[in-house]
Amino acid sequence: MPLSTDMMRTTLVMGGARSGKSRYAEELLTAADGACVYIATAEPRDDEMAARIREHQARRGDKWRTVEQQLDLVAALQENCRADTAVLVDCLTLWLANLMAASRDIGEETGRLVHALPGLEGRLVLVSNEVGQGIVPENALAREYRDHAGRLNQAVAAAVDEVVLITAGLPLRIKP
């Protein structure tokens, strides 16, 4: 059962891998009147990722229109966030990986996203992985990713109305 109320316009749903965060985020918006848009940031670079994408697509059903945007998330949000539309972004940490692979300025892209959030219309739910609660990664690239993800999550959490942490499929509201 979702914790969110209609009063919450922007929500960040966070959790670990396979925690149930995407399913929870989808449930927040499925009951919404009007259109539902799913902004997908994943690229099917291998068979496992392609299978995950198919699983998500099958679960969503026909109510959702999918927009694939791996890099220019702000443009996709500005184009799709409308008063009569519920938008789900899944997920910020895959978007971050895409930005890093494209050698984009992560601080600049994070700033663009956070700056855009207050001006967007409609209901918006963003999904992100919590990657900083495990062991310190062995290699420099993985540590850089973890650090960028932590800063991205902090910046988005500060900018949204609500933050929900999902653990074992159970939601815990941590903001407000």
On the question of pLDDT at 3 being above 70, the answer is no
Q: For domain 10-175, which CATH number applies: 3.40.50.300, 3.50.50.100, 3.65.10.10, 3.30.470.20? A: 3.40.50.300
> Which DSSP string corresponds to 12-81?
EEEESTTSSHHHHHHHHHHT-SSEEEEEE-----SHHHHHHHHHHHHHH-TTEEEEE-SS-HHHHHHHH-
On the question of pLDDT at 1 being above 70, the answer is no
Q: Which residues are catalytic?
A: 56
What residue spans define the domains of the chain? 10-175
Between these two residues, 59 and 131, which has the higher pLDDT value? 131
pTM: 0.91
